[in-house]
Amino acid sequence: MEKNIEILANREELIDRALEILLAKITEAIETRNQFTIALAGGSTPKPLYEALAQQPLPWDKIHVFWGDERYVEPDHPDSNQKMAAQAWLDRVNFPATNIHPMPTLANNPIADAEQYNRELVQFFALNAGEFPAFDVVLLGMGDDAHTASLFPHTDALTVEDRLITVGNKDGQPRITFTVPLINHARCVLFLVTGSNKQEPLAQVFATEGDAITYPSRLIQPVGELWWLLDQEAGAKLAENLPN
């Protein structure tokens, strides 16, 4: 694993840097494999990144978009990660509908919907039994409880290793989420973390020893590159221990 930690002056610089990294990964993947696969994150932090991507002259037909997790709500619900990305990016460019792969949330059965998305990934990546795909980029955020995707502290989803997709749990509410091993098979995992309320959880995530069941972002150790982009507010304490 190649680990990179960068602390940017503010959110705007963080988004600029994230865009720079993403554009390089898109170019590399298309030149090498003729397609680029990305799993999107929800929340407010990546929204300006999606808006910036909508301004880029990219070969949309070679880009396939998935989601790393989704709230168990209808696609047009205000809390839907799919809806946010569609409004900020996907609906604003000539994106082929067949290249957009949202998580299903309409079966009134989170387990069944998780299994359906699992099957979709197996089919798309032509996987054999027990194999995991290598996404070109998995975008992640981190909550002030150190959760990432919908992998929350002390929940069953953290220990699922035999599936690509499982059901997460946020205060009793189900969510569909990538499993830890699926994230960790990515060629590149890119965390975007902002805000002073992330200082303490970041300290726990980066501690030499710690409890990953309490601080789930510790579980993210991909075989490829791992990028942590932090704004100054989030990374202030961490900066004291980083080499210049």
pLDDT in tens, 205-225: 999 999 999 999 999 999 999
Three-state SS at 11: helix
List the structure tokens of 106: 């309409």
Residue with tokens 């990374």: 235
List the structure tokens of 175: 């969510």
Q: For residue 89, give the amino acid letter.
A: W
pLDDT in tens, 152-179: 999 999 999 999 999 999 999 999 999 9
Q: Can you tell me the distance from the alpha carbon of 172 to that of 91, in angstroms, rounded to the nearest whole number?
A: 32
Could you read off the pLDDT tens digit of each residue along the chain, which spans 244 residues? 789 999 999 999 999 999 999 999 999 999 999 999 999 999 889 999 999 999 999 999 999 999 999 999 999 999 999 999 999 999 999 999 999 999 999 999 999 999 999 999 999 999 999 999 999 999 999 999 999 999 999 999 999 999 999 999 999 999 999 999 999 999 999 999 999 999 999 999 999 999 999 999 999 999 999 999 999 999 998 877 665 5
> In a 10 Å sphere around its CB, with 0-12 CB exposed, 13-18 middle and 19+ buried, how is residue 139 labelled?
buried
Task: Please name which of 232, 243, 32 lies closest in space to residue 24, comparing C-alpha atoms.
Answer: 32
Is residue 88 within 8 Å of 47, Cβ to Cβ?
yes
β-bridge pairing 137-140 and 36-40: parallel
pTM, full prediction: 0.97
- How do the domains of the chain map onto residue ranges? 1-238
CA end-to-end span of the chain, whole Å?
21
Local structure of residue 148 (DSSP, 8 states) = B
Matching CATH number, 1-238, of 3.40.50.1360, 2.60.120.10, 3.90.1150.10, 3.40.50.300: 3.40.50.1360
DSSP 161-202: -S-SEEEEEETTEEEEEE-HHHHHT-SEEEEEE-SGGGHHHH
Handedness of CA 63, 86, 188, 116 (dihedral sign): negative
DSSP 200-238: HHHHHHHSSS--TTTSGGGG---SSEEEEEEEHHHHHHH
Q: Can you tell me the distance from the alpha carbon of 6 to that of 103, in angstroms, rounded to the nearest whole number?
A: 31
